[in-house]
Structure 1
Amino acid sequence: MTDQDIFNALSGNLLYILGALLLIIVVFKGIRIVPQSEKFVVERFGRLLSVLGPGINFIVPFLDVVRHRVSILERQLPNASQDAITRDNVLVQIDTSVFYRILEPEKTVYRIRDVDGAIATTVAGIVRAEIGKMDLDEVQSNRSQLIGQIQHSVESAVDDWGIEVTRAEILDVNLDQATRDAMLQQLNAERARRAHVTEAEGKKRAVELSADAELYAAEQTAKARRIQAEAEAFATEVVAKAIAENGLAAAQYQVALKQVEALNALGNGSGKQTIIVPAQAIEAFGDAFKMLKGKP
């Protein structure tokens, strides 16, 4: 084999090798594997061509270039503090935190340079505007409502950037020392007022209970008197009925019997005693003895 034949064989093999290398490079340039957490922005001759999603994607080698690799994971802005003035002219310092993620990378990379800075500036302006619409008490008591308003306003502002604000948080509302002292005095005054109100209500309740007790006692006394009157009326009715049925003699007999019993009680007293009995009483006792003797 001559030298020319060897050179030709080597040249042919080199062409095959170069062709194989070129094919590998074309395949490598034409296939793009995109991770699940990213999206690729593809340009052709400097212009936006497409956005590649997760998985295997094919592009035209040497013409199409992956210009931006954008993460679509949720991001958190650094905690920020900004001063704001409430509607009742109280200076407060608001600590905020914002979470977002990129939905449309083609808008984000071509419409805004510093995404985090732009969102932070937008949040600061919206927070100041929303705080200025509320009193201090409303800021502290309606924090969830304020967070919702801030998130809605931020979402509307960053919509053109292909960004979704997933969450906005107000971490703290700080006041200056003078405002804190004034609020503490107000709180102490409110506590004192509540204590006075509670004490007054207790006294009022005690008076009401005492009045109820007196009313109950009066009602029970009246009830007892009514029962006693009914009993006396019933006894009178029984006596009247007995007189009506047995005649006046039966009633006189009962009276004479009571008189004799009374005389016996006087006579059975202890010690020596003198009993002076009026003449009318002696006649009454005599009539009683006569009736007792005549009674069978």
Structure 2
Amino acid sequence: MLASTRSATRAGTRALLRASRTGRVNVPARTFITIVEQGFEAWRLTLGSEPVKLEPGLRLAVPFVHKVQQIDMRERSVNIRDLAGFTKDNVPVVISGSLFFRVENSYHACFSVDNFEENVANIGTSAMRSVIGHFSYDEVIGDRNKINSKLYDVIGTSISRWGVACTRFEVQNFKPSNRDVEKQLELQMAAERDRRKKILDTQALVNVAEGHKQRVILESEAALQGQLNESAGQKRRLVLESEGRLEAAKNEGEALARQVDILARALGADPQAAPPSAARTAALGALLELRRLDQLQAIARGDGNATYFFGDAKGTGRDPYEVDNVELWKNSLRTQLGAPAPPGSSAPAPAPA
């Protein structure tokens, strides 16, 4: 059995050598070592069966007995150029894109599909033509990421059973199929832009009117609030002024009562005892007389007065003797209270022994 295999091998080798001399076939050099490069995975078949996975590095492969298939595990791309199709609104377009994929299971890529790279490209072409029909022309122009996501889902589902994963899909070029279609689309887009402009202008006028309305409302509310605040401020001011006048009146009344009490006690026989009513009445009359005289002096010292008219006895309506007695009584009262005598007044005469 082994001898027949070797003879068949030698016969096949001689046939290949004769074909190579005629220039009809390229014969690879026979070697017992194959190299699996980094980023690749290989499967070795022994007489067409019993697949064995080979990792990167030097591996044994006997010619005519072993067959080695290497799979590139790196991410790659397939360019799909100038694909004709129709959008959802029946616009003929030409679209181009790139499909990125990567082999995740090298066994299925070798044995579940024949030439997976070509089949991946076919799937991408079919999916692109199918997906583009679900979007209108404006949607494709406005949002290509949505189309890319849809193509990614459709293609990924179709090629996953081959051990190949779709990493992403990128739409590169998108344009109408001819100049007539492009011109019609330009007119349509110009009309659409004009319609949107009119809508925006109308909305702007509405916004301006609404803003004017809000401004008038806010100004009226502000004026009303200002009047309310001013009224409240005036009310508060009047209340405070009235309270101040009340407090001042109370203080003046208390001060006057204390003055009357002090004068009444000074006029009484015993300063420590409560003064009688007659002493209080006399003290009150003396205080009123002092206030009247102080007012007359203030009028006399005023800068706006040029002429003064007085009746008899200094305008008091009394005879000179009574006036002199009043002055003496006032001075004696000030002396008892410890107040200084006004300038120009005569000192009281000492009491007779």
Task: Report the TM-score range of the alignment, normalised by the length of the smaller protein.
Answer: 0.5 to 0.7
- Say if 1:164 and 1:231 are closer, same or farther in 2 by CA, change over 3 A: closer
SS of 2:67 mapped into structure 1: strand
User: Structure 1 residue 111: deviation in Å?
Assistant: 5.3
- Corresponding residue of 1:45: 47
User: Structure 1 residue 225: deviation in Å?
Assistant: 6.2
- Corresponding residue of 1:125: 126
**What are the within-5 Å matches in structure 2 for residues 186-265 of structure 1?**
186-221=192-227, 224=230
**What are the within-5 Å matches in structure 2 for residues 130-141 of structure 1?**
130-141=131-142
User: Structure 1 residue 76: deviation in Å?
Assistant: 1.7
8 Å CA contact 2:152–2:169 kept in 1: the answer is yes
8 Å CA contact 1:147–1:169 kept in 2: the answer is yes
What is the identity, as a one-letter code, of the residue corresponding to 1:49? P
CA RMSD of aligned residues (A): 4.6
- Corresponding residue of 1:157: 158
- Say if 1:64 and 1:225 are closer, same or farther in 2 by CA, change over 3 A: same
User: Structure 1 residue 201: deviation in Å?
Assistant: 0.9
Q: How many Å separate the matches in 2 of 1:221 and 1:117?
A: 85
Cα shift readout 1:176-204 (whole Å, capped 9, x = no counterpart): 41224312321332133223312321232
User: Structure 1 residue 116: deviation in Å?
Assistant: 4.0
Cα shift readout 1:13-37 (whole Å, capped 9, x = no counterpart): xxxxxxxxxxxxxxx9544332113
Which of the residues 32, 35, 38 maps onto 1:33?
35
8 Å CA contact 1:73–1:102 kept in 2: the answer is yes
TM-score (norm 2): 0.49
- Corresponding residue of 1:171: 172
- Corresponding residue of 1:76: 77
- Say if 1:63 and 1:117 are closer, same or farther in 2 by CA, change over 3 A: closer
Cα shift readout 1:266-287 (whole Å, capped 9, x = no counterpart): xxxxxxxxxxxxxxxxxxxxxx
SS of 2:165 mapped into structure 1: strand
SS of 1:134 mapped into structure 2: coil
TM-score (norm 1): 0.57
8 Å CA contact 2:43–2:70 kept in 1: the answer is yes
- Say if 1:144 and 1:80 are closer, same or farther in 2 by CA, change over 3 A: same
- Corresponding residue of 1:25: none
8 Å CA contact 2:47–2:67 kept in 1: the answer is no
User: Structure 1 residue 81: deviation in Å?
Assistant: 3.1
SS of 2:189 mapped into structure 1: helix
Q: How many Å separate the matches in 2 of 1:199 and 1:188?
A: 17
User: Structure 1 residue 147: deviation in Å?
Assistant: 1.8
8 Å CA contact 2:85–2:95 kept in 1: the answer is yes
SS of 1:168 mapped into structure 2: strand
Q: How many Å separate the matches in 1 of 2:112 and 2:157?
A: 16
Q: How many Å separate the matches in 2 of 1:230 and 1:108?
A: 93
- Say if 1:227 and 1:109 are closer, same or farther in 2 by CA, change over 3 A: closer
- Say if 1:164 and 1:48 are closer, same or farther in 2 by CA, change over 3 A: farther
8 Å CA contact 1:40–1:66 kept in 2: the answer is no
Cα shift readout 1:40-77 (whole Å, capped 9, x = no counterpart): 33232244632322123335x35632343443332221
Q: How many Å separate the matches in 2 of 1:103 and 1:229?
A: 87
Q: How many Å separate the matches in 1 of 2:50 and 2:105?
A: 13
8 Å CA contact 2:48–2:67 kept in 1: the answer is no
8 Å CA contact 2:80–2:96 kept in 1: the answer is yes
User: Structure 1 residue 97: deviation in Å?
Assistant: 0.4
Structure with larger RCO (C-alpha < 8 A, sep 6+) = 1
Q: How many Å separate the matches in 1 of 2:225 and 2:157?
A: 74
SS of 2:35 mapped into structure 1: strand
8 Å CA contact 2:106–2:163 kept in 1: the answer is yes
**What are the within-5 Å matches in structure 2 for residues 9-28 of structure 1?**
none
Q: How many Å separate the matches in 1 of 2:144 and 2:158?
A: 21
8 Å CA contact 2:42–2:55 kept in 1: the answer is yes
When the two structures are aligned, how many residues end up with a matched partner?
Answer: 231
User: Structure 1 residue 218: deviation in Å?
Assistant: 4.4
Which of the residues 186, 190, 195 maps onto 1:184?
190
Cα shift readout 1:202-234 (whole Å, capped 9, x = no counterpart): 232123213322343344446656776898999
Higher gyration radius (CA): 2
